[in-house]
Structure 1
């Protein structure tokens, strides 16, 4: 094992190659054709299907499942992709258990919904494997649009605008496109480079140029974008991370969970990634769960996820919470950090138990930790932005901001849940509104 400079307990190479491969294999292996047909046969094809209402992108779920059942998965894929161009990724990372599948009539009747997410993956994978793009561009409009951010919202908006005949330039601060899909999702949910493969497939529509290493407020400015382009769509996500404002939080070994996940996603060799013996993750959202589970899969002996409220208030779904528990993650609730202890490097983190109203109880507990991962929220970073509301860009309708000719969507804007599927829907809807504004 290779020791990290942080603490004697933080080391790389805790596992052998076979264990890394097994731990980070596909969380939900793809259905084979027979399994897909059996799963599709369970659908009632409801006329007023509640699953459609529960889908943020309004996919006609009964229609695409019927198309799978009749042996036309590529037609099913086009049904999906016409509403959600990133349907392949969403099939992998969407909390379907709290969206379409929770609304499924089979779930209400039997407690066992139709496997909507896995069927969506089956159809979209079938089409993408043929390297075929099902859409073609409309006649060129002569209009140009700037998209800031190459994440789910930005790429969804760019694709729809390109399909409608506009020329789109996407600016992104990172060296790879994909945003959260590439840098922020657990590796076992999208193995084998799927995020980049989906982006490459999406760009086959044409009319989209991506420029990397360009962040708003640094290499590009809002005024310049407005002068150069006919419209601007802001989708840069949340670049800042909330700090852990307690005594000792500056000790080595206290890290941002988003950076930990990003490093893991971009690693060529998982055995080279250092992880603690005793890891504590602070937070209750998807980032916290992904960081906790992946710490365990990298070989951490003890992983604790600490959250200030009860499990029923965690942003992570119950499925994700149960997944963490099944991997050996201990979930502590109703605790808030009060101090980080150690001589230079973290050795323990001290918590206070709190009541439901967040008032302190005076009861303290110390948890051993040689690595602490912060997952307590992210913040919007940028200058010369449109009007903000609760720390995000205020929007009305389909993403219109306070600045004429500027739209926004995804995590950087006020809107729905911070989910990939919601970001895709917001990008698509903003594109349609931009198109209507540009062509009258």
Structure 2
């Protein structure tokens, strides 16, 4: 299929909207007209025309941190529903975490997941492999073999690597294999049964807290190991001002460290938690206002490289048990862009071009992906957004199996109109 998208706008580096049209052919971007009208190429016989009607056109969004829950937990999410949800959010490439059952810690298990992705995914899915067998903190997986089987990078997301010895060995292997260690940073010995941030609100609700140093101390350990081994080290879902400081200092020292932050940590703090409700329970937890401010500053000064959702679906039954007994995690794929556009770009905290970069170009650059830009010859991965119409976030509209998010009933702009992967429309919203 060949597509001709007309009457779209793109955002320039100086923040100006520019009328743009684009022709997609054979899964790639054939030609782009910025501020000008394209002519139909002689080599393309027919084109399906899409009138964008002034919508914002961006490269397809990239999310380096999602949970698809399959295999093992299909009641929470599947590869099909998770990728459909991501497509509804404008994402064309997502990176799936390996805390599955079974974990893809061998070539056979990784190959099985890859085959399932080929059959069921509606967008591009890059599958992480575990750092260690069974997501423990002991025996390393065979990185070289798993990379050959299609692994994207290596992480023990959800639990973290508890021993410095294991992380050191993992980073030595990662440097040798030119791959990335992606870290859930959490020192279990400092958890003390916490379920939300150790601050003001947990005391008001009578709930055990999670210390900021639980996260920051692991990052401090790991950046020094990264320096010693030369491995690329990427920090998941940064949430505290101390963590931002450690990462900033490490970058200034020339250490190969990158980091991500979630939409919910950018938009909410512990003070927004209204009661003992698990819709606000995530790991890491919502922190203080000062932490939230530090995260935004970290994005703006380049300490934090990108935004990732940590889309973590759960069933209603699992999430209906209060803070103490419900699992950590909220969904994010379907709401990320609209929330960030409305509540960060709208008030002028960040620019639209910055937001688009953090969701496209930056993750592509950090992880060496051949996508995330609108250039001829690149994959035809495109998203169109309505920046003007206000819409409510309603559970009934979700394509994910799960609706565990505190953003239900929020009103936003920037909803996805269309998502295109390899030149094929995989999501379309009726106007």
With structure 2 as the length reference, what TM-score do the two structures score?
0.26
State the TM-score, normalized to the length of structure 1: 0.25
Higher helix share: 1
